[in-house]
């Protein structure tokens, strides 16, 4: 076993209220910001 830097995220959304594609875009953007926090300053 080797230690690594992994963070698991799960999003639960009601598909009657929100489209799954929108939720996927949100998760992708969240991942981008968490990996590059400097973008919060731009």
Measured distance CA(10)–CA(29) in Å, rounded: 14
35: left (phi over 0), alpha (psi -120 to 50) or beta: alpha
11, 23 contact by CB (below 8 A) = yes
> Which residue of the set 8, 15, 17, 42 is catalytic?
15
Catalytic residue flag (residue 4):
no
**Active-site residue list:** 15
């Amino acid at each position: 076993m080797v230690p690594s830097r992994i963070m698991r995220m799960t999003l639960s959304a009601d598909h009657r209220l929100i489209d799954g594609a929108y939720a996927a875009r949100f998760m992708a953007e969240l991942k981008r910001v968490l990996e590059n926090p400097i973008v919060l300053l731009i």
